[in-house]
């Protein structure tokens, strides 16, 4: 069990491009993935990318079910090494996101409506899926980490960026608030 500290927004590594993993089953990668699981479960995040624990390698985890995020039900728990995204429907849908590296804050982020994604598991098996809605949002958020982007860099309207408790209070007072989802 190894819970690693999470780098927070401002750390240069979070704005760097991560390296393609050469040997998918090297001891370093196996250890990295174990640490990512331990860390994301401990912090009750819905997903995590390797750079968030200080390792600039193209590895992501998502679809983690925790008591804090119950709406990940339709997103399969997935480890992806060297993931790639192809946009199938470039319509942008706004949704509320958060991030372990941006603690306490949430913001409305436009994401593509439908994507195809692929990558590899630890055994070198290729994973290929199509995703839309919340599932597509989670994958785009985590893959962004590998290219040095945090969700605020994808935002266009900073009036919809703020602290979690304040946004929740606002949501309750806005009857016509759009449907919102959260990503960690
Ligand atoms: Ni994140």
Gap between the Cα atoms of 179 and 94, Å rounded: 9
How far, in whole angstroms, is CA 162 from its chain's centroid? Answer: 18
Distance CA 140, CA 151 (A): 10
Closest by Cα among 69, 80, 180 to 139: 80
User: pLDDT tens digits, residue range 105-147?
Assistant: 999 999 999 999 999 999 999 999 999 999 999 999 999 999 9
pLDDT greater than 60 at residue 180: no
Q: How far is the CA of 159 from the centre of ligand 1 (A)?
A: 20
CA of 99 to the centre of ligand 1 (A): 4
Name the pTM for this structure: 0.90
User: How far does the centroid of ligand 1 lie from the alpha carbon of residue 91, in Å?
Assistant: 22
Summarised one tens digit per residue, pLDDT across range 33-45 is 999 999 999 998 8
Catalytic residue, candidates 92, 130, 142, 184 = 142
Based on the residue annotation, tell me whether 142 is a catalytic residue of this protein.
Answer: yes
Strand partners for 55: none
Alpha helices in the chain (DSSP H): 27-43, 133-146, 164-173
CB 90 within 8 A of CB 112: yes
Rg, Å, the chain Cα set: 16
What's the pLDDT tens digit per position in 16-38? Answer: 999 999 999 899 999 999 999 99
**118: its two tokens:** 């692929």
**pLDDT for the residue numbered 37:** 95
End-to-end, the C-alpha distance of the chain in Å comes to 21
83 and 90 Cβ atoms separated by less than 8 Å: no
């Amino acid at each position: 069990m190894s819970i690693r500290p999470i780098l927070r927004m401002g750390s240069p590594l979070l704005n760097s491009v991560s390296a393609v993993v050469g040997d998918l089953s090297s001891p370093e990668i196996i250890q990295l993935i174990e640490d990512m699981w331990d860390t994301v479960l401990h912090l009750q995040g819905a997903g995590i990318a390797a750079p968030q624990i200080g390792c600039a390698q193209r590895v992501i985890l998502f679809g983690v079910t925790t008591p804090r995020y119950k709406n990940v039900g339709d997103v399969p728990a997935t480890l992806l090494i060297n993931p790639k995204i192809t946009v199938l429907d470039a319509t942008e849908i706004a949704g509320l996101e958060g991030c372990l590296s941006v603690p306490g804050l949430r913001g409305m982020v436009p994401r593509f409506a439908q994507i195809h994604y692929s990558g590899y598991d630890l055994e070198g098996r290729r994973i290929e899926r199509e995703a839309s809605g919340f599932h597509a949002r989670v994958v785009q958020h985590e893959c962004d980490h590998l290219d040095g982007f945090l969700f605020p860099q994808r935002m266009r309207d900073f009036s919809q960026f703020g602290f979690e408790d304040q946004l929740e209070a606002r949501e309750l007072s806005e009857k016509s608030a759009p449907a919102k989802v959260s990503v960690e």
